[in-house]
Amino acid sequence: MKKKCGKWRKVLPLLYVLILMISLMPTNTKAAENSYAVNGGMETDFWTDGSWSFQDLDDSQVEVHHFAYAEDTWIKPAEGQYALKFWIKDNASAQTFKVKQTAASLPAGKYELTVQTMGGADKEAGQVALFAGSSKTSQAATKGYNNWETQSLTFELSQDTANFEFGAEIAGQPNTWGYLDGFSLKKVDGSATEPVESDIFVEKVEGLNDNFIKGVDVSSVITQEDSGVTYYNEAGQEQDIFKTLADSGVNYVRVRIWNDPYDASGNGYGGGNNDLEKAKEIGKRATANGMKLLVDFHYSDFWADPAKQQAPKAWANLSLEDKKKALYSYTKDSLQALLNEGINIGMVQVGNETTGGFVGEKDWTKMSELFNEGSKAIKEVDPNILTALHFTNPETAGRYASIAKTLDDNNVDYDVFASSYYPFWHGSLSNLTSVLKNVADTYGKKVMVAETSYTYTSIDGDGHENTAPKSSGQTLNYPVTVQGQATAVRDVIEAVANVGDAGIGVFYWEPAWIPVGSPDKLAQNKAIWEKYGSGWASSYAAEYDPHDAGAWFGGSAVDNQALFDFNGKPLASLNVFKYVNTGAVAPVKIEKLTDVTIEAAAGEDIKLPETVTAVYNDGTEGPIAVTWDEQALIEAINAGIGEYVINGTVEGGLSVKANLTIKPENFVQNPSFEEADKSMWKITYPNDLAPHADFLKNPADAKSGEHSLHFYSADRVDFTVEQTITGLTPGYYDASMFIQGGDAAAANMKLYVKTNDKQYDVPTNVTGWNIWADPKISDILILNGTVTIGASIQANAGAWGSLDDFSFVKTADYEEAVEEEEQTPPAQDDQAEDSDEQEEVSAGEEINNETTVKQEEPKQETEKHETNKQVKEENTQQEQKGNSLPDTATSIFNFLLLGSVLLVSGAILYKI
C-alpha cells in the first residue's frame, strides 16, 4: 500500500467488470499438493479436464454447463469466475444425479466437505445433498436467485483410505435449476494444542505449515527511530523492535529499495528514504533476530504502484535494451552487497505492484523482458532465493488469470505470484483464495499476500489524514478495533493457507509507522518529516513526483493501521502471528457499541431505539439496553430541520451516539429503493434496446442503505426512470438525486421534473466509482398537486453506474410567496416599463411554446485529500434571487397579464 494511492484502488464495481473483462482461463489444471478437491471452484472446464464426473446423468433430461458468471449481468458470484450450472428440462421427469470426484488417497483424520449452492425456489428448487464415502447429509433446497448458501459435511476416517469418493447428489422436478461452486475438502483435525489466554480472541488456522511466512514490512523504521520514535515490549520496556517482532511470531521482514531517493543536494524524498544502505541495516537487524529478508526492488527512485511506475532518474533516457542491462546489473550488485553483510535473504521481488507497468514500460512484452532480467540476476547470485512478482486488485474479474497467462506466454521465469490485499478495497477472502489457487494450480507457482493491513482506530495520530477508514468507497467488514484488526489479519492468513501448500505466506504492511508527534504539534511534525524522511513524502520529492508527492507531502497515513500504539507499545493484535498456530482466548467484553443513524421528516414522531448493538471481542454481537439524553432529543425535535448528535450510555458507562437527521418531508416513495415494492418507479427504454437497469442489493454501490438502481449495457445505455407524485399542496419544491459510475463516453445524463405544463432539468455525469454527483433543481412551483420526478441516462457502450436517494421536498408555501410579491415596493417608471416589456415577451413565448427550464449545470469542485488522492465532487445549485414571480409561474398568470396589456393597448388605439 502506498500513500496517495486511493484513487487507483477505487476500481470498477464487480458486476460490471465481469462483463467487460476477458477471462483467459486455461483448459488444463495441475492440482496443488494436498488440495483434496481438485478444481473445486470450477475455474477450469470439468468436461475437458475430467476433474469432475457425473453419475446417473441423463443428457436428454438434464443440462449441465461449465458456467461463466460473465454470462449473467446480475448474478452474484460465489467465488472466482465460473460455476457448475444445472437445469432439469421442463419436459423431463423427476431426476437424481451425482457430481463427484475421487481422491487417490486420504490419510486418517477428521475432514469437512463444503460446497456453495444457489438456485430456484419452491417448485423450481434443487435438492442438494453432500456425500463423502458412506457419509451423507440430508437434502437441502436452494432458496432463490443469488441466495447462496454453504452446505457442509463433517466425517472421520479411522485409517488411510485410497480412492475415496466425494461430491454432491442433486435432485429435482422439471424446471429445477441451480449452481454449485466452491467445493472444498479439508482436513480439520490437528494437534490438541489448547488456545492461549490473551487479550484478544484468535481462532486457530488449521493445517498451517510450519514454514508459512508471517511477515511484516517495516521499511520506514530507521527514519522513525532517527525522528525520535521509541518502541517498547509488552511490559512497557524499551526494546529493539526487531526482537519484539520476532517474539510475536514474525519470521520474515520485507524492505523496499529505491535506486536514488534523494535530490541533487542530498535531501531525501521521504517514505523512509529507502535506499540500499537502509536495506542493509534493516536486513542485518532482521537476521540477528532469526528472521529472513524479502527484498522489494521498486526499480524507481520513489513509490512504485499501479498508478506510478516511473524509471529511476539515471535510467530515464535509456533504450529498452540499455534499461534491461541496467536492471540486471543493479539487481545483481545490490543483492550481492546485501549478502556480503551476512543477511539471510529468502526472497526478492522484481518490482512492486506492477499491475499497470514496470520501470516506465506498459507493454507486457517489454515488461516481461525486464522481469526476466531481474530473475536472471537473482538466480545467478543464489538459485535458492525465491523470485517474486507482485500485482494487485485481485477483486477485478479475470485480472490475475490474464496476468498469469501473459507471464506464461512470455516465458517469464519466477517462483512466487504475490498479491496486495487490503480488506477495505480488494473484495472477498473467498475470491482471494480462488484467484490465487487458480494461478497456483494452473502454472505451478507459489502464491502469497505481499501487503495487507487493517485499521484499529479511526483517530489520526500525527495531524496527517489517514487512508482508512472512509465513509464511502471502503468495505469495513471488521470492527475498527484492536480485535477487529487481529481478526482481519488472521482471516487473510487463513485465505492464503486455504490455497494449499502453494500458499506460502502473508506480509503486514508498515506496522511500525506510528506518529513522530501528536496532531497538536503539526508544525513540529512537518519539520521532522522533512529532515529525516519519516513522513510518506517530503517536499524534496517534488522534483521526481511533482503531481502527487510534490503537492501532498506529509506524514504517516497509516499510523492507525500500525500494530503498535501511538506511543510505540505493541498492540495485542501483533501477537496474531503466533496465535494463528495455537488459537487464543480472552475474557469476553464489549469491543465497541454501534452508533445509531436515524433520519426522520420534520413533524414526525421521533423515537430512539431502546437497545443498540454491542460488538464483543469474541466476534459475537447482541443488543444492549441504552439510556439516551432525552433533553437533547427534545431540543433537536423543537429545533426542526438539521443534524444532531444525541448521546447515550449503556450499563458499565460505555457511550454511544445517535446521529439524528431531521429532513423536510420527502414526497418520493421508496426514494432509496430499500423497500420490496418498487412498482411506483417506471423504467423505460427505446424500442430497440434490451433492459439494462435494475434494482440491486449491493451496499458498496449504494449512496445509502443496501440498494440502488444499477445500469450497464455492452451496446449503449439509454433509459429513463421516473415516479409520479400526487396530492402535493401548492408551493415551491426542490428535487435532487445521487449518481455515480464510469466509462460514460458521449454521456447525456440529467435529473428532470415535469409539471402539468413545464419540464425542468439539470445535467449531470459520472466520474468514477463512489464519486457521487448530486444534481439539484430548486424553486419548482407546484399548483395542481401532481409532479413527475425522474432521470434520463444516455451514454455509449460500456457505461455503468447507479442512481440512489431521489428527493422531492417542499421549501415554501405558494401563498407566502404571493404575499412577499405583493409587499415588493413599486419599481421606477423606466424600470417598470422595461419589466413590462420583458414579461410581455415571456408571456408570448409561453403561450406558443411549452417552456423547458434548465437549471445551471452544477459546479464541480475537486478536492485532493492528503491521504489517498480520492477525488470528491460536490455539486452546488445557483440560487434564484429577486422578488418577481419566477419562470415557474403558471401560464394562467401570464395569459391574464397579456390580456391586460392588450386591453390597455386597445383603449389607447381607440382614443387615437
Residue with cell 508527492: 549
Looking at 353, 369, 591, 722, which residue is catalytic? 353
pLDDT bucket at 192, cuts 50 / 70 / 90: low
CA distance 484 to 490: 10
CA distance 692 to 874: 27
Q: Is the pLDDT of residue 156 over 50?
A: yes
Cα angle 56-61-64, degrees, rounded to a multiple of 5: 75
Mean pLDDT of 312-323: 97
CA distance 60 to 518: 73
Least confident of 60-74, 681-695, 712-726, 874-888: 874-888
Mean pLDDT of 873-901: 36
Q: Contact, 408 vs 443, CB < 8 A? A: yes
Please enumerate in sequence order all residues whose Cβ is within 8 A of that of 463, keeping only pairs 6 or more positions apart, or say none. 518, 519, 520, 521, 522, 525, 555
Pick from 551-565, 586-600, 696-710 the range whose average pLDDT is largest. Answer: 551-565
Residue 188, pLDDT score = 81
Q: Contact, 810 vs 780, CB < 8 A? A: no
Mean pLDDT of 522-549: 96
Long-range contacts of 205-211 (CB under 8 A, 24+ apart): 205/490, 205/493, 205/494, 205/497, 205/580, 205/581, 207/497, 208/493, 208/497, 208/580, 208/581, 209/497, 209/501, 209/504, 211/504
Q: Contact, 538 vs 553, CB < 8 A? A: yes
pTM summary value: 0.61
pLDDT tens column, 515-532: 999 999 999 999 999 999
Determine which helix (DSSP H) or strand (DSSP E) holds 717, and give its type and residue range.
Answer: strand 716-725
Residue 365, pLDDT score = 98
C-alpha distances (whole Å) from 234 to each of 202, 222, 239, 307, 554 are 18, 21, 10, 39, 30
Of all residues in the chain, what percent carry a pLDDT higher than 70?
A: 85
Residue 895, pLDDT score = 37
CA distance 807 to 672: 9
Q: Is the pLDDT of residue 5 over 90?
A: no
Q: How far is CA 884 from the centre of its chain?
A: 49
Looking at 451, 722, 839, 846, which residue is catalytic? 451
369 is catalytic: no
Mean pLDDT of 31-52: 80
Residue 193, pLDDT score = 64
Residue with cell 505492484: 353
Determine which helix (DSSP H) or strand (DSSP E) holds 838, and give its type and residue range.
Answer: helix 829-848
CA distance 742 to 537: 30
Which cell goes with 384?
Answer: 535458492
pLDDT tens column, 793-840: 999 999 999 999 999 999 999 875 444 444 444 444 333 333 333 333
Q: Is the pLDDT of residue 159 over 70?
A: yes
Residue 227, pLDDT score = 97
Mean pLDDT of 162-181: 96
CA distance 554 to 537: 6
112 is catalytic: no
Tell how strand 642-650 and strand 800-813 pair up.
Answer: unpaired
pLDDT tens column, 391-419: 999 998 899 999 999 999 999 999 999 99
Which cell goes with 80?
Answer: 472466482
CA distance 426 to 8: 12
Least confident of 25-34, 303-312, 578-587: 25-34
Residue 765, pLDDT score = 96
Which cell goes with 39?
Answer: 478444481
Q: Is the pLDDT of residue 906 over 70?
A: no
Residue 844, pLDDT score = 33
CA distance 851 to 853: 6
Q: Contact, 510 vs 219, CB < 8 A? A: yes
Of all residues in the chain, what percent carry a pLDDT higher than 90?
A: 75
* Angle, in degrees to the nearest 10, between helices 364-381 and 399-409: 70
Phi–psi pair at 241, nearest 5 degrees: -60, -30
Q: Contact, 525 vs 258, CB < 8 A? A: no
Residue 704, pLDDT score = 87
Averaged confidence pLDDT in the chain: 86
* Angle, in degrees to the nearest 10, between helices 829-848 and 891-911: 120
Q: Is the pLDDT of residue 504 over 90?
A: yes
Mean pLDDT of 59-69: 95
Sheet hosting strand 109-119, strand order edge to edge: 62-68, 82-88, 177-187, 109-119, 144-157
Tell how strand 503-509 and strand 446-452 pair up.
Answer: parallel
Residue 35, pLDDT score = 54
pLDDT tens column, 322-353: 999 999 999 999 999 999 999 999 999 999 99
Q: Contact, 708 vs 766, CB < 8 A? A: no
HSE toward the beta carbon, residue 559, CA cutoff 13 A: 29
Which cell goes with 501?
Answer: 501448500
Mean pLDDT of 279-285: 98
Q: Which residue has the higher pLDDT, 742 or 832?
A: 742
Mean pLDDT of 352-365: 97
Tell me the β-bridge partners of 621: 615
DSSP letter at 3 equals T
CA distance 19 to 71: 8
Mean pLDDT of 837-858: 35
Which cell goes with 714?
Answer: 455492452
**Three-class SS of residue 436?**
helix
Residue 890, pLDDT score = 36
Q: Contact, 507 vs 252, CB < 8 A? A: yes
**Three-class SS of residue 116?**
strand
CA distance 363 to 373: 16
Q: Is the pLDDT of residue 871 over 80?
A: no
